[in-house]
Structure 1
Amino acid sequence: MSHLKTTIESLDPKKLHVLFMGGCGSFGMNITAYIYGDKLYLVDVGLAFASDYEIGIDSHVPDLTSLMECFDQVEAYFITHGHEDHVGALPLILERWPAPVYMTAWTEKIFMDRIQKFGSRIQPEVHVVSPGDRIRGGNLFVDWVHIPHSIPGCCCLLITADKTTVFHTGDFKFDHQPFGEPGPDVGFLKSIAPVTAMIADSTNSGHEGKCPSETSVQETIYQCFKTSQGMIVFSTFSSNFWRLRIVLEACSKLKKKVFLSGASILKTLEIASQVFGYHPPEGLIIDESQIPHQERSSLVVIASGSQGEPRSGLRRIVFGEHKHVSLNAGDTIILSSRVIPGNEKSVAMITSEAHKKGVYVRTNKSDPGIHVSGHAHRGDLSELIELIQPKHYIPVHGTFTQLKANEELHPHSVSVENGSLVRVAERNVKVEDTFDFDKLFVDSWSQRPMSYESMRKRHKIGDSGLAVISGHLFNIDVEFFGLPFDNEAHQTKSAEDIRAIIAEGHHKTENLDDLNEWARLHCRRYLSSLFVKKPVVISKIFS
């Protein structure tokens, strides 16, 4: 029996325990397990985007195998909002561990679209909730509390287990005058005080003051559009409907025409139509056939890809790969977004290529206020703490630097990391143990998960190359992939040398299995003598 299983089985079923499985110490893959009355509940099931060096990998998702060995099933999934680091892994997880899912209408639309992208055949049991709802999931009560963020349909969760209450913020900003949605319900927040614990977003905990309101970007964006020359290509986070709506309203006032480039942009506006009944002003949006007939100064392209994503609309436009839109000297690119850590090179590459073409690039640096964050600053966090008066405070969602900065805001803060198991009680909240959890790697094209070992093999081939030995014992074919031979003659001679090595092995081995292993090891050794690196070698010789 594993240490995790032994520990879980020994927990007091009358006490609430929280197991932090992602998002604590690094960004992405936010997932938190609540354990109460021998039942398991999961809040958010997010993914983390892969690094550039992870060849053919789109994202990381949590591997719940070891956790699920401790429970018969998941009782329910509670999803705070629709960003991928909070809901992106749910389709894969539901395939193995189905359970009722609770989420707002906007999040449900994003989730169902992601199921289609994964090619999943599951038919999830989804319960659409609204802010103000209280639902019972097993032995827990969950109140859905509206909170502004950079995506519609975002909620904090008030989780109640008997007399223990945990306020789980998810991602939020304390915006009293947000664009297009209500502000936080201060009266309700005051009414639930004091809560036992607050689990709090740490993303901007190192920023003093309050996070600027989404409404504050309206005038800056309007002035940018009014003063920019040539065609404008505008890019922001595609999921931020509020920002897209601000841009569309600015374009309508300035009598510009808008072409939409990028599936994610179109999907956001489609969801807005379904959930809010929103439609852009009539005649504002044009299709590709109308682009040549527009004056360049009256054309705005809203493109996906503010982070320089490889197949995004912005990247294709900048590098001249878009079928319908091309840049000219004097055009303007407006980036209404921050650069997510890890994407600096991609964004710099786009900016450099734009400058090469004589295109102006306007960002939050050149035009302060063109972008605001969707995450709480220190002042916002302090205001929420003052309202709900948590007895204990658990910072999550960020690097350890951000978690530590957040801990400074409350005298009874609890430090956690991925794998921390925390007991939550009125008088005492403490880390009882810490566990290691594996993660899975999602293939870029099939969208199927693979283990670390499978991913490591793929990277080994990409890094060191591949040699394949195959065929009849007396007619052996040797193929090389990704190896730095000087020329074709060098490659041909190396293949002949390997055939000679195999002939030698034929006399020194007793069967084909031994011969294939001989061929693999000695071929690898030979190629290593040429290239230093040891490539992957596959030998399939038959009699």
Structure 2
Amino acid sequence: MNADSKETAAVYSGGEQGGKEEATQAYPAVRQGASDEANAAPRSNSPLRIVALGGLGEIGINCMAYEYGDDLILVDAGLMFPDADMPGVDYVIPDFSWLRERADKLRGILLTHGHEDHIGALPFLLREFPTPIYGTALTLGILEGKLLEYKVEADLNPVQPRDTVTLGCFQIEFIRVAHSVVDGCALAIRSPEGVVIHTGDFKLDQTPVDGEVTDLGTFARYGDQGVLALLSDSTNVEREGYTISERYVGEALGDLFPKCKGRIIVAAFSSNIHRVQQVADVAAASGRKVLLNGRSMVNNVRIARNLGYLTISDDLLMDIRELNHLPPEQVCIISTGSQGEPMSALVRIAMDDHKQIKLEKGDTVILSSRNIPGNERTISELINHLYRRGADVHHEKVSEVHVSGHASQEELKLMMNITQPRFFLPIHGEYRHLVLHRRLAMKVGIPEERCLLAVNGEVVSFYNNTACIEETVETGRVFVDGKGVGDVGEVVLKDRRHLAEDGMVLVIIGINQHTGEFIYGPEIVSRGFVFEDESQAYLQTAKEMVREALKELSVEFLADRDEVRQIVRQTLKRFFKKSIERRPMVLPVILEM
């Protein structure tokens, strides 16, 4: 989409979007009042450039950069949990190479909310790019706990909804939105080119647990004054209608708890403070005390209570040492591990590997969360193990114990109609979500040529009320494995997948270091390939194949260690492929004796 093909500048006002008349004056910057106009940054010859370093075309690692002239801001910096084809990887974070070239421009990082896919990469980012961070109280509280864990210091600046932050030429207002975590905000980002509304994750919950509804009035104010572009959450675009209120989960749990005779374990995301509050309220009404299980659950509840976002009395909470002294019908455990994460609290309980908590027949486990795409098989295995322990399991597919925190189609349409953007860009979703959200915008009445579609690395440029995708910059994924960041790449993952699928064969050979003669071996050791005790005859044949191949080599050839390794590798690969149709990793080890 070239800038030359764009329509002339226009301002929409009044009526339905499809029938609005276009004004001839230049597109104005959004104003909060007459005094703000004088404070607006002066227009230069630079375009406003928006670059997704993660989160466009995938679920997770959300990170969006806004660049104008010599100023750059980041919105969120999240992580992604590894897929099944990433063995050994702990986390996936964005590649910040593009940002590294512009580090002197970075003015600050703005956070929409406290979920891992929006803040999880910050401990790694801040080690290299120390910069001020702005977010609401709970968002920064959760982040601070992560930074302490990683021993990273940061300049944290708390804000409240409707506060405005100025960073270089950018003026950013935080706008309250409802989501599955407390203190979520959208951002109105004012630049010399106009205002961009970045929704973050949101839904239009009219009866939220804490009474803090999405601030439609502020969105409408910007819509009346002029919005250059709307960047909107696409996660739930495939769902028709409206997303059910979070309060509905509390009602469902209130019906379920009295029917449970044994202990109840509710697994949820530790950041879902509203869910924790509702579980605690229902537990109290049912005469049950609450045990918090899992480090992140304990930490986030502590932070939320200290900040006043959770109202759970000390009398309601119990210590794990009290667990075996209370009747099962008086116990409710709120735990992490709803996604079946290895070594999480719930998984250890399901595997009967938890030191203090043992499932008994008649206990009830409630998975009160949505399955993250890619985790379906892991969660299915978790449920099977819970049933093997005699528990009764309730989850999203069979019980109404979870509602989404993301807007469905009618809410997405309403956001478009309220903000009345000139341009629309779907964010936060896999590629199909972005495509469907773009189509939804066209149905609402935004012209097709103004509905943009970009993926990670594509630069969306706005200049003089035109928009185009002008280039592609370097982006990608960085794998975190233990303390190593970026030292595991595709080659290493390929080797790990190879080992996981086909196993390894180690071939040990001794060669005289003076004469180059073959004097020992070969000895063959396998791991994950065949069971050696039952395959001695087969491995003996493999040894003979290697020995015959080496006997045919001259002493001069044997002196070349690399050539010997290559001959051994080729000989065994052909033998394994022909005899049993397997391709193990063959690692020759040459000992100079």
| TM-score, normalisation: structure 1 | 0.89
Question: Match of 1:386?
Answer: 417
SS of the residue 1:192 aligns to: helix
Q: What is the identity, as a one-letter code, of the residue corresponding to 1:148?
A: A
What's the CA shift for 1:165?
0.7
Q: What is the identity, as a one-letter code, of the residue corresponding to 2:317?
A: I
Q: 1:16-63: CA deviations, max 9, x gaps?
A: 011123222221121212121044322122222211232112232222
Q: Counterparts of 1:279 and 1:83 in 2: how far apart (Å)?
A: 21
Distance 1:496 1:39, change over 3 A: farther
Contact 2:542 2:572 in 1 (8 A): no
Question: Match of 1:484?
Answer: 530
What's the CA shift for 1:497?
4.7
Map of 1:507-526 to 2, 5 A cutoff? 507=555, 508-526=557-575
SS of the residue 2:49 aligns to: strand
Q: Counterparts of 1:95 and 1:467 in 2: how far apart (Å)?
A: 40
Q: Counterparts of 1:13 and 1:462 in 2: how far apart (Å)?
A: 54
Question: Match of 2:190?
Answer: 160
What's the CA shift for 1:279?
5.5
What's the CA shift for 1:240?
0.2
Contact 2:80 2:92 in 1 (8 A): yes
Q: Which runs of 5+ in 1 are unaligned?
A: 1-11
- Is 1:35 the counterpart of 2:73? The answer is no
Q: Counterparts of 1:228 and 1:429 in 2: how far apart (Å)?
A: 57
Question: Match of 2:546?
Answer: 498
Question: Match of 1:26?
Answer: 58
What's the CA shift for 1:248?
0.6
What's the CA shift for 1:448?
3.1
SS of the residue 1:45 aligns to: coil
Q: 1:362-398: CA deviations, max 9, x gaps?
A: 2344443x32111112222223223322121111111
What's the CA shift for 1:86?
1.3
Alignment size in residue pairs: 528
Q: Counterparts of 2:51 and 2:196 in 1: how far apart (Å)?
A: 13
Q: What is the identity, as a one-letter code, of the residue corresponding to 2:529?
A: L
Q: Counterparts of 2:110 and 2:483 in 1: how far apart (Å)?
A: 27
Distance 1:137 1:256, change over 3 A: same
SS of the residue 2:252 aligns to: helix
SS of the residue 1:94 aligns to: helix
Distance 1:536 1:339, change over 3 A: same
SS of the residue 2:46 aligns to: coil
Q: What is the identity, as a one-letter code, of the residue corresponding to 2:308?
A: F
Question: Match of 1:466?
Answer: 504
Q: What is the identity, as a one-letter code, of the residue corresponding to 1:363?
A: H
Q: Counterparts of 1:364 and 1:122 in 2: how far apart (Å)?
A: 37
% identical aligned pairs: 30
Question: Match of 1:182?
Answer: 212
Question: Match of 1:144?
Answer: 174
Map of 1:109-120 to 2, 5 A cutoff? 109-117=141-149, 119=150
Distance 1:337 1:493, change over 3 A: same
Q: What is the identity, as a one-letter code, of the residue corresponding to 1:397?
A: H
Map of 1:401-412 to 2, 5 A cutoff? 401-407=432-438, 408-409=440-441, 410=444, 411-412=446-447
Distance 1:131 1:514, change over 3 A: same
Q: What is the identity, as a one-letter code, of the residue corresponding to 1:539?
A: P
Q: What is the identity, as a one-letter code, of the residue corresponding to 2:590?
A: I
Q: What is the identity, as a one-letter code, of the residue corresponding to 2:138?
A: W
Distance 1:240 1:525, change over 3 A: same
| TM-score, normalisation: structure 2 | 0.82
- Is 1:236 the counterpart of 2:236? The answer is no
What's the CA shift for 1:331?
2.2
Map of 1:260-271 to 2, 5 A cutoff? 260-271=292-303
Question: Match of 2:31?
Answer: none
Map of 1:425-440 to 2, 5 A cutoff? 425=463, 427-435=465-473, 437-440=475-478
Q: Select between 250-259 and 92-101 the one with higher mean Cα deviation.
A: 92-101
Q: 1:87-110: CA deviations, max 9, x gaps?
A: 212222333333332233322233
Question: Match of 1:375?
Answer: 406
Distance 1:320 1:176, change over 3 A: same
Question: Match of 1:3?
Answer: none
Question: Match of 1:422?
Answer: 460
Question: Match of 1:452?
Answer: 490
SS of the residue 1:324 aligns to: coil
Corresponding residue to 2:427 among 396, 402, 414 = 396
Q: What is the identity, as a one-letter code, of the residue corresponding to 1:448?
A: V
- Is 1:313 the counterpart of 2:353? The answer is no
Q: Select between 337-346 and 355-364 the one with higher mean Cα deviation.
A: 355-364
Q: Counterparts of 1:33 and 1:290 in 2: how far apart (Å)?
A: 49
Q: Counterparts of 2:309 and 2:174 in 1: how far apart (Å)?
A: 23
- Is 1:87 the counterpart of 2:116? The answer is no
Q: Select between 161-170 and 225-234 the one with higher mean Cα deviation.
A: 225-234
What's the CA shift for 1:122?
3.9
What's the CA shift for 1:113?
3.1
Distance 1:357 1:515, change over 3 A: closer
Q: Select between 303-312 and 344-353 the one with higher mean Cα deviation.
A: 344-353
Question: Match of 1:362?
Answer: 394
Q: Which runs of 5+ in 2 are unaligned?
A: 1-43, 512-518
SS of the residue 2:297 aligns to: helix
Q: Counterparts of 1:278 and 1:74 in 2: how far apart (Å)?
A: 35
- Is 1:331 the counterpart of 2:363? The answer is yes
Q: Counterparts of 1:297 and 1:337 in 2: how far apart (Å)?
A: 23
Q: Counterparts of 2:52 and 2:434 in 1: how far apart (Å)?
A: 13
What's the CA shift for 1:225?
0.9
What's the CA shift for 1:200?
0.1
Question: Match of 2:7?
Answer: none
- Is 1:49 the counterpart of 2:81? The answer is yes
Question: Match of 1:130?
Answer: 160
Distance 1:88 1:499, change over 3 A: farther
Question: Match of 1:535?
Answer: 584
Contact 1:164 1:425 in 2 (8 A): no
Distance 1:286 1:199, change over 3 A: same
Q: What is the identity, as a one-letter code, of the residue corresponding to 2:269?
A: F
Q: Counterparts of 2:399 and 2:133 in 1: how far apart (Å)?
A: 42
Q: 1:287-308: CA deviations, max 9, x gaps?
A: 2221222111121121211222
